[in-house]
Amino acid sequence: MGKGAKLDMRIGFIGDIVGKPGRKMVKYHLPTIRKELELDYVIANYENASHGFGLTPKNANELLNAGIDLLTGGNHTWDKREIIPLLESDLPILRPFNYPDGVPGRGYALLDGRLAVINLMGQYGMPPVENPFIRGREIVQKLRGEGISNIFIDFHAEATSEKRALFLMLRESITALVGTHTHIGTDDLTIVGGAGYLTDIGLTGCRDNVIGMKEDVPIQRFLTGLPGHFDIPDRCRAILQMVIFQMEDGVCREAFKIKAYDRTPYQIVQRAYIEE
Mean pLDDT of 197-223: 94
Of 29, 51, 76, 229, the catalytic one is 76
Is 60 exceeded by the pLDDT of residue 21?
yes
- Residue of 124, 30, 119 lying closest to 71 (CA atoms): 119
Residue 244 CA to residue 72 CA, distance in Å, equals: 16
Has 51 been annotated as catalytic?
A: no
Alpha-carbon span 106 to 93, nearest angstrom: 8
Which domains are assigned to the chain? Answer: 13-270 (3.60.21.10)
Identify the CA nearest to 243 among candidates 233, 252, 234. Answer: 252
What are the start-end ranges of the E strands in 187-250? 190-192, 195-198, 205-206, 238-248
100 vs 123: CA distance, rounded Å: 13
Q: What does R_g of the chain's alpha carbons equal in angstroms?
A: 18
Task: Look up the pTM and report it.
Answer: 0.94
pLDDT tens figures, 31-62: 999 999 999 999 999 999 999 999 999 999 99
52 vs 3, which has greater pLDDT?
Answer: 52
